[in-house]
Amino acid sequence: MKRITPCLWFDDRAEEAARLYTSIFRNSKIGRVTRYGKEGREIHGRPEGSVMTVEFELDGQPFTALNGGPAFTFNEAVSFQVHCETQEELDYYWEKLSDGGDERAQQCGWLKDRYGVSWQIVPAMLPAMLTDPHSAKSQNVMKALLGMKKLDVAALEDAYENP
């Protein structure tokens, strides 16, 4: 077990979300599922036998999904970055994760999925472009980035090569 495992708080769709995410990412799987017992019904109002937590992995990274009720919801303060090597890979994750999500939240490679979880779908080379010591190149990439929803690898490369 890894030392740090993100725990995602859902109202009541933890298992559904874990199944969707593991269907999208390679090298992924569902692990243990725990269920509410009698105490869960009494303390949290959850039906006995309903899913409490789902352990899952996405590309080898462990996560836990918790059905904790409606007290908390996701926001952009926490997001998950998906680093992509090609435009095709970027397009794949963008399409799969944004399906049913909040279109208004899509900007600069960020999206919200159908559960309200924020994701950043970015080209793997973007950090190097943005930190290039040649200021005109990095600033031109930033300008191009700020005008995009889904990121365009070719347009970012062009902005980098032609400041």
- What are the tens digits of pLDDT across the range 42-90? 667 788 899 999 999 999 999 999 999 999 999 999 999 999 999 999 9
What total number of domains does the chain contain?
2
Same domain for 38 and 63?
yes
pLDDT, tens digit (0-9, with 9 covering 90-100), for 1-39: 678 999 999 999 999 999 999 999 999 999 999 999 987
Q: What CATH number is associated with residue 53?
A: 3.30.720.100
* Domain that residue 27 falls in: 7-67
Same domain for 89 and 156?
yes
CB distance 80 to 117 below 8 Å:
yes
Same domain for 114 and 51?
no
Contacts of 139 (CB under 8 A, 6+ apart): 163
43 lies in a domain? yes
Same domain for 54 and 100?
no
The reported pLDDT for the residue numbered 46 is 84
